[in-house]
């Protein structure tokens, strides 16, 4: 493995992990609101959040490109006010990965929250616990398995993201190149040995992620 | 204590829960068939449920007043709640369940200290176990202890004995009685079991299809039901205080006024009991001479006869007021008349003894 390859592996791993952590608070909040509350427009939000799961990733990427570009609503604001560019930087990779893996996290966390007996939360409140305390001491621990499963799947989805990333971040070596983008490019250029080495790394990373999740599940199951 | 429940109107699936009562007694049973809205009432009091119209005041503190838009959140009410399924937190140990609502530090009432509660409910040996390793009766005690440790000003119990089988019930009842006597917390106890109500409560609220049918002292409601619906529910025509004088081989000898009865000994030994006899379990016989397996043969005088549909309610003086229900043809055949003497037969298992 060359230094350049290590850089690609390292970048892909940390940007995927960071995107999973970044969407976690929003994902949990939305999943809880979907599982426990009824509000107007709920089904609309549900559908909207699931869109990246069913739409072609490249289409999602194009939407992000339009919003985050210098002439886009958010991108324009950030460029003019904070002199911050998103498109074709690592930040674009982060956002693309987050948006693409968000539905998976929300889906799993929602199912996990729905499986927590609301009576337990209610009785915790009669014991003097505030809403936040109930959430962190009863709801989250009891939903932990589902939430962790959702996080691992979100992370795995981020590791393999291709379509949306290439639209908003391009494939700039040393800057926005991820594993998927590099493998694609190497195959295009006929550099098979390079591609196979990265393929090997992908397999190892996927294996470790799934293996970790299974170990975690087994330990939780014993509780 | 005073718990004021006014103008309560909560639409449920098949009826509207309508309650307007002032609970004054130490232990009050909310009594009624399943699906009468009993649990919904407890949820309203605990603030776990909202309704269009509710006024709830506990002592001098208004907890819910929909007219003024006032609603004290559940966690600030100081109302302990032991639900029917107990709701022990499965991911926490018994100790951490107990300590969940326990305020450590600050001026603490020694009555509600961890040591005292553990002692009263005898849960020391369970404390380091996981919740899933407990038996039904143990879970019940842990749930009670957990609620007590939050030092509540009112304790709500939802069918505390319903999920337990008879021997376990007999084991838990003394604990409930101890909690009642030891901690002096007012309790509101939902039940559909008349003997449970009789054992634990001073006063009873009879709830049928969301409506309060009758309130009053337990023995009064049971012997003088306000209407046919309550009568059908409680279905105990005779209810008298008695004293167990002897227990031998599972049989108890009970003195009621000047009469002596033989009954099955109650699972929890108690000297002072309520003697409960259903009207249809009392057999009337003209001549007293015949022998049979019936343990109790009481010479009695007929005080009054009252027709109730196909049945006649016979009020007897057998040394204590005793009621018998017989069919009209039987009444005619025996030519029952007021003032006459007759023998009342009651099998020992038909006499229920409830600790008082």
pLDDT tens-digit readout, A70-111: 888 888 888 888 888 888 999 999 999 999 999 999 999 999
Question: Least CB-CB distance to B83: which of A123, A125, A127?
Answer: A123
Nearest CA-CA partner of B213 in B16, B42, B13, B18: B18
CA distance A21 to chain B (A): 25
ipTM: 0.82
Q: Which of residues 151-210 of B touch A (CB under 8 A)?
A: none
Spatial contact of B172 and B97, defined as CB atoms under 8 Å apart: no
Q: How far is CA B240 from CA B201, B230, B323, B351, in A?
A: 16, 19, 11, 11
Q: For residue B75, list chain A residues with Cβ-Cβ distance below 8 A.
A: 125-131
Residues B286, B288, B289, B290, CA torsion sign: positive
Hey, what are B292's tokens?
């049979």
Nearest CA-CA partner of A185 in B90, B160, A177, A58: A177
Spatial contact of B257 and B331, defined as CB atoms under 8 Å apart: no
Q: Tell me the residue range of the domain where A135 lies.
A: 3-222
Nearest CA-CA partner of A135 in A36, A43, A220, A42: A36
Nearest CA-CA partner of B10 in B46, B49, B57, B47: B49
Can you tell me the distance from the alpha carbon of B34 to that of B354, in angstroms, rounded to the nearest whole number?
A: 22
Spatial contact of B298 and B284, defined as CB atoms under 8 Å apart: no
Question: Least CB-CB distance to B85: which of A119, A124, A223?
Answer: A119
**DSSP structure string for A44-104:** HHHHHHHHHHHS-HHHHHHHHHHHHSTTSHHHHHHHHHH----TTSHHHHHHHHHHHHHHH
Partner residues linked to B263 by β-bridges: B252
pLDDT at B289: 66
Can you tell me the distance from the alpha carbon of B303 to that of B284, in angstroms, rounded to the nearest whole number?
A: 14
Nearest CA-CA partner of B200 in B353, B83, B21, B356: B356
Greatest Cα pair distance in chain A: 67
Q: For residue B46, list chain A residues with Cβ-Cβ distance below 8 A.
A: 122, 126
Q: For residue A131, list chain B residues with Cβ-Cβ distance below 8 A.
A: 75
pLDDT at B180: 86
Spatial contact of A198 and A179, defined as CB atoms under 8 Å apart: yes
Mutate to test the interface with B, among A118, A119, A122, A123 (most CBs of B within 10 A): A123
pLDDT at A223: 44
Hey, what are B162's tokens?
């319903």
Letter string b/e over residues B31-48, b meaning 16 or more CB atoms within 10 A of that residue's CB:
bbeebbbbbbbbbbbbbb
pLDDT at B136: 86
Spatial contact of B274 and B198, defined as CB atoms under 8 Å apart: yes
Q: For the segment B285-339, what is each residue's pLDDT rounded down to a tens digit?
A: 887 667 788 889 999 999 999 887 788 889 999 999 999 989 989 888 888 889 9
pLDDT at A122: 96
User: For the domain that residue A148 is a member of, what is the CATH number?
Assistant: 1.10.3720.10
A117 to B79: CB separation less than 8 angstroms, yes or no: no
The number of domains in chain A is: 1
């Amino acid at each position: 493995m060359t230094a350049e390859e290590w850089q690609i592996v390292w970048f892909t791993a940390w940007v995927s992990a960071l995107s999973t952590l970044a969407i976690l608070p929003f994902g949990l909040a939305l999943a809880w609101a979907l599982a426990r509350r009824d509000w107007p427009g709920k089904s609309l939000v549900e559908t909207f959040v699931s869109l990246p799961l069913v739409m072609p990733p490249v289409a999602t990427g194009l939407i992000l490109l339009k919003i985050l570009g210098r002439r886009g609503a958010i991108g324009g604001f950030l460029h003019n006010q904070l002199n911050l560019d998103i498109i074709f930087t690592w930040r674009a990779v982060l956002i693309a990965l987050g948006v693409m893996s968000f539905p998976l996290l929300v889906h799993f966390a929602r199912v996990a929250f729905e499986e927590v007996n609301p009576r337990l939360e209610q009785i915790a409140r009669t014991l003097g616990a505030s809403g936040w305390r109930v959430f962190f001491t009863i709801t989250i621990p009891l939903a932990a398995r589902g939430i962790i499963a959702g996080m691992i799947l979100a992370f795995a989805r981020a590791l393999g993201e291709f379509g949306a990333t290439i639209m908003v971040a391009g494939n700039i070596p040393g800057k926005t190149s991820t594993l998927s983008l590099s493998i694609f490019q190497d195959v295009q250029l006929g550099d098979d040995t390079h591609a196979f080495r990265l393929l090997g790394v992908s397999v190892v990373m996927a294996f470790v992620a799934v293996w970790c999740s299974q170990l975690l599940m087994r330990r939780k199951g014993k509780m | 204590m005073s718990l004021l429940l006014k103008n309560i109107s909560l639409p449920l699936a098949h009826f509207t829960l309508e309650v307007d009562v002032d609970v004054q007694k130490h232990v009050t049973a909310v009594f009624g068939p399943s699906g009468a809205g009993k649990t919904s009432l407890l949820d309203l009091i605990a603030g776990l449920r909202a309704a269009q119209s509710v006024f709830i005041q506990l002592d001098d503190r208004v907890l819910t007043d929909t007219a003024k838009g006032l609603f004290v959140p559940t966690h600030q009410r100081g109302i302990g709640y032991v639900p029917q399924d107990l709701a022990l937190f499965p991911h926490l140990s018994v100790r951490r369940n107990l300590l969940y609502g326990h305020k450590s530090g600050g001026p603490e009432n020694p009555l509600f200290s961890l040591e005292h509660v553990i002692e009263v409910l005898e849960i020391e040996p369970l404390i380091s176990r996981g919740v899933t390793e407990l038996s039904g009766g143990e879970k019940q005690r842990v749930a009670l202890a957990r609620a007590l440790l939050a030092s509540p000003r009112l304790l709500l119990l939802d069918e505390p004995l319903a999920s337990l089988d008879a021997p376990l019930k007999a084991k838990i009842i003394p604990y409930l009685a101890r909690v009642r006597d030891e901690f002096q917390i007012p309790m509101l106890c939902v039940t559909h079991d008349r003997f449970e109500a009789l054992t634990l409560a001073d006063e009873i609220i009879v709830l049928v299809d969301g409506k309060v049918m009758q309130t009053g002292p337990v023995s009064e409601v049971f012997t003088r039901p306000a209407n046919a619906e309550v009568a059908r529910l409680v279905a105990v025509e005779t209810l008298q205080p008695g004293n167990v004088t002897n227990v031998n081989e599972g049989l108890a000898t009970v003195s009621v006024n000047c009469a002596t009865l033989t009954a099955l000994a109650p699972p929890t030994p108690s000297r002072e009991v309520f003697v409960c006899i259903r009207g249809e379990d009392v057999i009337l016989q003209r001549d007293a001479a015949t022998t049979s397996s019936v343990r109790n043969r009481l010479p009695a005088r007929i005080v009054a006869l009252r027709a109730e549909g196909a049945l006649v309610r016979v009020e007897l003086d057998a040394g204590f007021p005793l009621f018998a229900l017989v069919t009209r043809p039987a009444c005619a055949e025996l030519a029952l008349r007021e003032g006459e003497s007759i023998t009342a037969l009651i099998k020992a298992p038909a006499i229920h003894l409830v600790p008082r």
